[in-house]
Structure 1
Amino acid sequence: MKLFKTFLSMALVLAFFNCTDKEKVKKTPETDLTQLMESIDKFNKAFQEGHVKVLESMITENYLHTNGNLKSIRKNDWINYLSKREKEIQSGALEVIEYKLEETEIELHGNTAIVTGKVTVSNKRNNDIKKNEYRITNIWVYESGAWKRAGFHDGKIK
């Protein structure tokens, strides 16, 4: 329900701005929730397919990544992990069957967004298929005209 109210509010704001002189309207994160949602979709698709360059371009320089069972890592360590994963995907050793974000909720705070949801992931390795679900929290920031992910945390759903 919160997400619906957020979308409804954003739709009203966007409708108002679309009725004004577009030359005078300055685009802000609050008026462009669509851009954030598109960035999240692009990010998730790049992760599913193992496109490290895309992912690297979509995270902040001081990116912090935390999985529920490991110590937090910074941008370079996460990119190193992604590079190994990309090679596994390209070689066929790892197949990501599904990577889906659902139950998404977004809270905007100026140029920062807190995004929560449930990720369902299904991987195939050595003919063994594993499916997992995680509750996630992402921190996105609007910088230099684009949304970038600044932080990540997940917890496995049992």
Structure 2
Amino acid sequence: MKNFTKLFTLFSVVVFSTFLHSQKNDIDMVLKLNADFDKASLSGDLPFFENALAPDFVSYHPDGSKVTRAEVLERIRKEKEKPSYKLLSVKSDDVKVKMDGNLAYVTGLWNASTSGLEADAVPHNDTGFYSAMFEKRDGKWMIVSDHSTEKTHTSDELMPSLKQASDNYDKAISTQDARMFDSLLSAEFTSVNENGKIRNKAEEIAQIKSADLKLTSVKSEDKKFRIHRSTAVETGVFTVSGTYKGKAFTDKGRYTSTWFYSNGKWQLASDHTSLIK
């Protein structure tokens, strides 16, 4: 009987030791997958996401929106083909893993640095917390879902990049740079001019790059900015001189611009101008 008890005890120790070893291996694999996720995000490694995200993967963003695996992959493809911003760095800290069979619950702190595409773009840092669910399917760990929060930016943190975006907008007008306009204007951009005419993004770009328009001087003064979370209102006075279809003009007026901050950059959502008689 004593021998049986010893054998049973030894067997239990071996089984428990094997379990702990197996669990440690699983934790190491989950941690590696989590670290590889950061690297793939920085490089835009589409094959990694295709392989690591479960077919039923879903991501919940800080703004409350939900994104599916197909939508994530499509965004990565588009960003790879036509970048809208630069991801300078991304890193996870204080990562913790809690195992429950074939499930792993991961939590951590994320840090990222982004900037616009312009050569003089001001880098911006973001931070927040995330949680993710991993599942082992057919011997392979996959990411099933994740959820992230983001620390609210202060006005002081956002002001330098906002002023830079405003200066770039002035530069885009003075040089009639359609490419710079395309990067600064949001897809839903709306412009209302002094005559009450409304133009969308495509119409605004077509107007500024028109061969009929020749600008000789563009100046903005008395700029004021008010930031409300990730939205900002800019007001100021503009003076524009040039020719349109050969006819000289000089216009002076006031403007109100609405900006919003997304994906590490400011974009112009709407613009309204009125002439000073």
Change in CA separation of 1:71 and 1:50 when aligned onto 2, cut-off 3 Å:
same
Q: Runs ≥4 in structure 1, deviation > 3 angstroms?
A: 27-31
Note the residue ranges of structure 1 that are not aligned, 5 or more in a row: 1-12, 18-24
Corresponding residue SS for 2:63: coil
In structure 2, the residue matched to 1:100 is 91
Relative to structure 1, the CA distance from residue 81 to residue 54 in structure 2 (aligned partners, 3 Å threshold; closer, same or farther) is same
CA distance in 1, matches of 2:127, 2:53: 23
Looking at structure 2, the residues matched to 73 and 157 of structure 1 have their Cα atoms a distance apart, in angstroms, of 20
**8 Å Cα contact 1:94-1:124 kept in structure 2:** yes
Map residues 48-127 of structure 1 onto 2, 5 A cutoff: 48-88=42-82, 94-125=85-116, 126=118, 127=121
Q: What's the offset of the Cα at 1:144?
A: 2.2
User: Structure with the greater relative contact order (CA < 8 A, sep ≥ 6): 1 or 2?
Assistant: 1
Residue 86 of structure 1 and its aligned partner are, at CA, apart by 2.2
Q: CA offset at residue 39 of structure 1?
A: 1.1
Counterpart AA for 2:115:
K
What is the percentage of aligned positions where both structures have the same residue? Answer: 14
* 1:46 counterpart letter in structure 2: A
Is 1:39 aligned with 2:30? no
Aligned pairs, how many? 133
Give, in angstroms, the shift of residue 130 of structure 1.
Answer: 1.5
| 1:35-79, Cα deviation, whole Å (9 max, x unpaired) | 111111112101111011111110100000111104212111111
Note if 1:154 corresponds to 2:148.
Answer: yes
RMSD between superposed Cα atoms in Å? 2.2
Residue 138 of structure 1 corresponds to which residue in structure 2?
Answer: 132
Task: Please state how far the C-alpha of 1:29 moved relative to its aligned partner.
Answer: 5.2
Q: Which runs of 5+ in 2 are unaligned?
A: 1-13, 153-277
1:115-158 CA distance string (max 9 Å, x none)? 11110000121313121001101111111222111101111123
Q: Which residue of 2 aligns with 1:9?
A: none
- Equivalent residue, structure 2, for 1:5: none
Paired residues of 1:100 and 1:119 also in contact (CA < 8 A): yes
TM-score, normalising length: structure 2: 0.44
SS of residue in 2 equivalent to 1:33: helix
Tell me if the contact between 1:35 and 1:147 (Cα under 8 Å) persists in the aligned partners.
yes
Q: Is the 8 A contact 1:133 1:157 kept in 2?
A: yes
What is the identity, as a one-letter code, of the residue corresponding to 1:100? K
